[in-house]
Amino acid sequence: MSLDVPTAVIDAAQRGEMDDAQFVAVVRDSLPYAWEVISAAADDQAARPEAPFGEHEVPPPSEQARGQLLRALASNSIRGALERHFGVVLAFQNCHRVAAFAPAAVDSAVYREFVSPRGQVLNQTPELRDC
């Protein structure tokens, strides 16, 4: 799944004038489901600052939606831009569990457990095996 990049943004990038705001707008418009999921996790984290992280735990409604989420979280540039935009560090276990950690929480036991092999294994279910 590629991004839908307007000609004006391509031209700006060719001139070396690309900035995060332009790129984030392209991501938001090209990957609306991924934007929705990451926004929800970031909003959850912001609404509950006492919680170690915010999360989104709903399986994607379609293969297209799943592809958008995988694209956003697998791309270093997209993921990094989203993390900077929302002020969080994203963690991803599978297609239905995305977490947004406050940057200060990345050195916490909760973060280390979330991103650990044990955390990954414990988050698996038979119905989400192909996720």
User: Distance between CA 90 and CA 104 in Å, rounded?
Assistant: 13
Q: Evaluate if residue 130 carries a pLDDT over 60.
A: no
- pLDDT (tens digit per residue) in 59-75: 899 999 999 999 999 99
Mean pLDDT of 17-24: 92
| pTM for this entry | 0.87
- The answer to whether 119 and 52 are in contact (CB under 8 A) is no
Q: Evaluate if residue 6 carries a pLDDT over 90.
A: yes
> Phi first, then psi: what are they for 65, rounded to 5°?
-65, -45
Q: Evaluate if residue 128 carries a pLDDT over 60.
A: no
Per the model's pLDDT, the better-predicted residue between 108 and 128 turns out to be 108
Q: How many residues are there in the chain?
A: 131
Confidence of residue 131 (pLDDT cuts 50, 70, 90): low
For every residue of 18-63, DSSP letters joined together read: --HHHHHHHHHHH-HHHHHHHHHHHHHHHH-TTSSEEEE----SSH
CA distances from 40 to 14, 44, 73, 97 (A): 33, 6, 15, 12
Confidence of residue 51 (pLDDT cuts 50, 70, 90): confident
